[in-house]
Structure 1
Amino acid sequence: MSGGLYRSAHAASDGDPGPSDGAILISVDGSAPTAAGDEALPPEDVPPTGGGTEGGSTAGNSAIMAAGSLVSRIIGFVRNMLIGMTLGAGIGDAYTSAQFLPGQIYELLLGGILSSVLIPLLVRRRKADPDGGLLFTQRLLTFAVVTLGVATALVVTAAPVITAIQSGDGTTPAYRDLVTAFAWLILPIIFFTGLSAMISAVLNVRGHFAAPMWAPILNNLVVIATCGVFIVVFGTTKGLRPEDMTPGRIALIAGGTLLGMVAQALGLLPALRKVGFAWKWRWAPRSLGLGEVGRLAGWMLCYVGANQLAVFVVVRVLNSASGKNNASVLAFNNVYLLTMMAHGIIGVSVMTALLPKMSAAAAEGRYADVSADLSRGIRLTVTALAPIAVAYGVLGVPIAVTLFQGGAFTYEDAFATGTVLVVAAFAVIPLSVSYLCTYAFYSLQGNKTVALINVPVVLLRIAGYVVLAEVLSKSMAAAGMTAANAVSYLLSAIISLAVLRRRIGRLNLASVAGALLKVLLAAVVAGAAGLLVLHLLPGGDTPGRLTAALQVVVAGGTIMVVYLVTAALLRVREINQVVGMVRRKLGR
């Protein structure tokens, strides 16, 4: 399910929130948790160690994963564009709302626990057991299949109740019925998402990284093909109301979405055979040490649960704004994807490079080095993301029109999406900085601290959702929810930096502030240049698709060039490192 919202960092890969968007990587040292609240380092985005002979070199694995991530992001974005063009905003809102449900429930059942608790246990058993952890892994997979199967059956049975609560009071009965109809076929994704994640974990622990990174592409291709078949058979849903959606239309688009995740899970099975893992049915839950797992997972459940509550609230609020060319669930999700794409390309690259160094320094008590790495990471991240944030702020409407307009997704829908993207420009940098601070806590084995910071911040975010939903008009609801996100990310970063300063000492914030002022000045100059060029180009404030694409290319290129030149003149030292980092990322 590409493009879910607020998927916890523990279950995402490369910063992408959707359950099917990448592999789950193991921690650098594979160390086991020691006590509740002090879990092992998180596995996502950590350079692979090659846990087995199949793993190959770290550089080779990183190249495979970077290539898979880039291709998956591009194809996943095409998938979401086609969903919008096929279903339009109104029907697309109902589809997207139903699509969030399996991601939310998967996260509560397995997502954060898998990467922060179960994978370290798999690594430990692989090292300690005479059979390389084969028996333990077979038992764990058997237990997971049964648990996921039962949970999925219960959730599907309760689909009408769940969708009625999430749809909100402001929606029509026909809209709620459509969300429920989609959910009947989409909710079984929970089982196959969990199965795919567990198989990916087994492969990663055995040093195989290629299949988990490339399997989501198969998922996206199936959904893209489904959209193509839908258009050929039924045409687009432009102008259709929820009550006009026939069972055949619902079955095709929702069934194709489910089939995509089934294909992803089945596509991983040959890789299991390749690493020599034989999956036999072994039901022995008492041998798994579930009491230990439960103790270790407690804080992670708090972390994940708070995030999923936020998803529930924002979807409920935005469902009530669906229709009448308002930016709602589908538009909000598309903008969030753009935000996470910037974070994934830049922020995660910085985190991937710094986390092993910070972890090693923290283990040896070299907190000054942790502080230096963190401050360097913040400078690099902000320097790299600033021109992207400027582009989103200046070119929000042209970007949205270029990417999303077409088919059932009207110009008015795309224009409303662009307004949300302008607001999201202010969330890009706080998001990545807050994640970077979170990773600093991980290097210090401070998952408990992360949860204690995250829970109140998310509660404040939810309060922001509720207040802004009451204050703003429905046409501005998605922009308001995005603004609440930006404020919560900034608050999380500020609190995290204050706690980190008490934990590891000085953070060199004076040098960081000096660098950030230079970056801010370069961004202001670049933004002014972009606005000037935009004013001179055809299309004005309401560009058509061709003129919007021209504005994105010319004004966007101007923003990038002016930013780089200004930053160089201001002697922003990180600019050369940023250019090299992006070139390496794209080159791989």
Structure 2
Amino acid sequence: MSGKKIIKSSVVVMVLIILGKILALVRDALIAAKFGATYVTDVYNFALGLVYLLTTISYGLTTTFIPLHTEQLQKSIKKVRDKFVYNVINLSSIVTILISIILIIFAKYIIYIFGHGFGNDPVVFSTSVNITRIMLLSLIFISIQSVITGVLQAHKEFYEPAAMAAVSNVVYIVYLLFLTNKYGIMGFAVATVVGFIMQLVINIPKYLKLGYKYEAVIDTKDREVHKMFKMMIPVIISTSVIQLNVFVNRSFATNIFYGAVTVLDYANKINTLAYEVFAIGIAMIVYPTLSELAAKGDKEEYKKALVKSINTIMLIMVPAAVAIAVLRTPLVTVIFKRGAFTNEAAVLTANALFFYCPAMIAYGVRDILNKAFYSVKDTKTPMINSFIGIAINIVINIFIIKYMQVSGLTLATTLSAVITTIIMTWQLNKKLQGIEIRNVINSFIKITVSSVIMGGIIYFINKIAMASIASEMLGSLTSIIISFILGTATYFILIYLLKVEEFNSTIRTIRNRKV
């Protein structure tokens, strides 16, 4: 793929991801308005968390499928590689169906163990079991979709996979606007399953256009399948532990008060906005580059690409974390504070969000580090660090939850993320015999100084806006808009003056194109 095509694809992918996030905000605002921060949303978020925990298997499937199928596209005839695709679809579907049936049968025991707070009320418990069983049906569609999106990405087709979130969110929004009053949260669980089905459907036309179809191929002795499943194990464990970390936090939250899970979830949604739009997109683009350089044995260029990626992530995540921390109350007000979502819920969410913000930076850097380890065929180190992270999180939760409640859970998550990211950086630096840590630290200091100054300006803009405008909603919206414009301008000027290389090189590229 040429440089211009990569840039074009990256821009389109970013736009589609941003569209998905905007629709997700609309969806979350509607959920807050329709259901509030109550046991109903707690139950839904708990069940959704269980589904996401299990989708780590699909993530591992996609992650390991892509390099294998890419190699087949270069070396194997069409019949052989097509058979591999059909075999993976069928085998993964059979395994997923069996897992889903077992989980549906034992759903109430899952609630007893991981959502024990729901067991205190028979109505809440019954609702949680029913919703969990409905939403577990999503797994089969997610499994098939993971293989098909892997096929598309192996062919350098990124648009449909990037549009999946937007498509499913349209389904949720339609339900919340027109059907909530009639079918309630149970109907929304069904709508969630339909949303996952639509994520699969949107990829099928391109899949067929590439010349693939469906055949009932089942070959458990296929060496490539054995190789793929062997590679999957560390990736699945690593990703599962990360999702399990979120699940553990929700489990702790069920024992605080009804609505605590929802407060935790909404704080996390705002916190991961910039991360999911930019960090995930950058990591997706960086991965093949690092893999290619690692395969060539070009250590110097590999290290340069890695450091540039880390610095680029920090260039976006650090100011985003500072801005969200300062504007946490206006953001929660604009996005969630309406209908059944009370002022008390908004305050709790804003407080929890404050302690979440630094985790955004750690998440972004961690994703790049994970891709770096994967690119040099080391899947065990990220897996081990995931276990370290969840252990740290659980220990801190146990000691801090009674003092800080939901905010304690978010602080524990942040501390865990920061510690494990530092450990991974040290390990990668050792593995690669140096990755220009001084360059990273130097950039981090410049970016942090610029972000803090920007944060101070945003703080005063917010105070003035909230004091000058009587309407809390209008004041919050005005504060966010003005802060974004002036804050962004301030930050860009500062990082330019401080000569942050990743930003200045982008400016030079733009100037050269104009010339």
Aligned pairs for 1:398-547 within 5 A: 398-469=330-401, 471-472=402-403, 476-539=404-467, 544-547=472-475
Equivalent-residue separation in structure 2 for 1:553 and 1:179 (angstroms): 39
Candidates 565, 568, 572, aligned match of 2:496: 568
| 1:431 alignment partner AA | Y
Equivalent-residue separation in structure 1 for 2:396 and 2:264 (angstroms): 16
- 1:281 lines up with 2:213 in the alignment: no
Q: Cα offset for 1:451?
A: 1.7
Aligned residue for 2:216, secondary structure, equals coil
Q: Cα offset for 1:506?
A: 2.8
| 2:320 alignment partner AA | I
Equivalent-residue separation in structure 1 for 2:255 and 2:232 (angstroms): 34
| 1:179 alignment partner AA | S
Specify the alignment match of 2:245 in structure 1: 310
Aligned residue for 2:477, secondary structure, equals helix
Specify the alignment match of 2:58 in structure 1: 111
Aligned pairs for 1:139-538 within 5 A: 139-169=87-117, 172-173=120-121, 174-231=123-180, 233-234=181-182, 248-287=183-222, 290-323=225-258, 328-352=260-284, 354-469=286-401, 471-472=402-403, 476-538=404-466
Contact 2:306 2:372 (8 Å CA) reproduced: yes
- Quick one: structure 1 residues 500 and 541, their matched pair in 2 at CA, closer, same or farther if it must change by over 3 Å? farther
| 2:491 alignment partner AA | Y
Aligned residue for 1:133, secondary structure, equals helix
Q: Please, what TM-score do these two structures have when normalized by structure 1?
A: 0.78
| 1:149 alignment partner AA | I
Q: Cα offset for 1:225?
A: 0.8
1:2-58 deviations in whole A, cap 9, x for unaligned? xxxxxxxxxxxxxxxxxxxxxxxxxxxxxxxxxxxxxxxxxxxxxxx59xxxxx954
Specify the alignment match of 2:35 in structure 1: 87
| 1:555 alignment partner AA | S
Q: Cα offset for 1:378?
A: 2.8
- Quick one: structure 1 residues 540 and 442, their matched pair in 2 at CA, closer, same or farther if it must change by over 3 Å? farther
Q: Which moved more, 1:86-95 or 1:558-567?
A: 558-567
Q: Cα offset for 1:515?
A: 2.9
Contact 2:312 2:502 (8 Å CA) reproduced: yes
Aligned residue for 1:427, secondary structure, equals helix
What is the count of residue pairs matched by the alignment?
A: 507
1:248-269 deviations in whole A, cap 9, x for unaligned? 4243222222222223323433
Aligned residue for 1:271, secondary structure, equals helix
1:386-432 deviations in whole A, cap 9, x for unaligned? 32122111111111111111122223222221112222222222221
Equivalent-residue separation in structure 2 for 1:371 and 1:405 (angstroms): 46
- Quick one: structure 1 residues 515 and 338, their matched pair in 2 at CA, closer, same or farther if it must change by over 3 Å? same
Q: Cα offset for 1:382?
A: 2.0
Aligned residue for 1:281, secondary structure, equals coil
Contact 1:103 1:190 (8 Å CA) reproduced: no
| 1:522 alignment partner AA | S
1:296-344 deviations in whole A, cap 9, x for unaligned? 2332233133224323311111122343xx6x22232233233332123
Equivalent-residue separation in structure 2 for 1:131 and 1:331 (angstroms): 51
Equivalent-residue separation in structure 2 for 1:194 and 1:460 (angstroms): 31
Q: Please, what TM-score do these two structures have when normalized by structure 2?
A: 0.89
Specify the alignment match of 1:41 in structure 2: none
- Quick one: structure 1 residues 59 and 426, their matched pair in 2 at CA, closer, same or farther if it must change by over 3 Å? closer
- Quick one: structure 1 residues 535 and 281, their matched pair in 2 at CA, closer, same or farther if it must change by over 3 Å? same
1:421-448 deviations in whole A, cap 9, x for unaligned? 2222222222212222222222322222
1:179-217 deviations in whole A, cap 9, x for unaligned? 222112211111111122222223333454333333443
Equivalent-residue separation in structure 1 for 2:335 and 2:117 (angstroms): 32
Contact 1:85 1:404 (8 Å CA) reproduced: yes
Aligned residue for 2:462, secondary structure, equals helix
- Quick one: structure 1 residues 209 and 574, their matched pair in 2 at CA, closer, same or farther if it must change by over 3 Å? closer
Equivalent-residue separation in structure 2 for 1:353 and 1:117 (angstroms): 16
Equivalent-residue separation in structure 1 for 2:450 and 2:318 (angstroms): 9
Equivalent-residue separation in structure 1 for 2:281 and 2:302 (angstroms): 17
Aligned residue for 1:408, secondary structure, equals coil
Equivalent-residue separation in structure 2 for 1:332 and 1:427 (angstroms): 14
Query: Quick one: percent identity of the two aligned structures?
Result: 19
Candidates 24, 27, 45, aligned match of 1:96: 45
1:471-506 deviations in whole A, cap 9, x for unaligned? 32xxx4332222122112211221122112222223
- Quick one: structure 1 residues 221 and 484, their matched pair in 2 at CA, closer, same or farther if it must change by over 3 Å? same
- Quick one: structure 1 residues 276 and 367, their matched pair in 2 at CA, closer, same or farther if it must change by over 3 Å? closer
- Quick one: structure 1 residues 546 and 57, their matched pair in 2 at CA, closer, same or farther if it must change by over 3 Å? closer
Contact 2:314 2:444 (8 Å CA) reproduced: yes
- Quick one: structure 1 residues 348 and 118, their matched pair in 2 at CA, closer, same or farther if it must change by over 3 Å? closer
Q: Cα offset for 1:354?
A: 4.2
Which structure: greater helix fraction?
Answer: 2
Specify the alignment match of 1:137 in structure 2: 85
| 1:502 alignment partner AA | K
Equivalent-residue separation in structure 2 for 1:542 and 1:368 (angstroms): 58
1:146-165 deviations in whole A, cap 9, x for unaligned? 22222212211111111222
Specify the alignment match of 2:70 in structure 1: 123
Q: Cα offset for 1:97?
A: 0.9
1:333-384 deviations in whole A, cap 9, x for unaligned? 2332333321233334543554444334333433333333333333332232
Equivalent-residue separation in structure 2 for 1:318 and 1:458 (angstroms): 16
Contact 1:465 1:484 (8 Å CA) reproduced: yes
Equivalent-residue separation in structure 1 for 2:506 and 2:283 (angstroms): 13
Equivalent-residue separation in structure 1 for 2:41 and 2:326 (angstroms): 27
- 1:559 lines up with 2:487 in the alignment: yes
| 1:515 alignment partner AA | S
Contact 1:118 1:293 (8 Å CA) reproduced: yes
1:515-534 deviations in whole A, cap 9, x for unaligned? 32222222222222222233
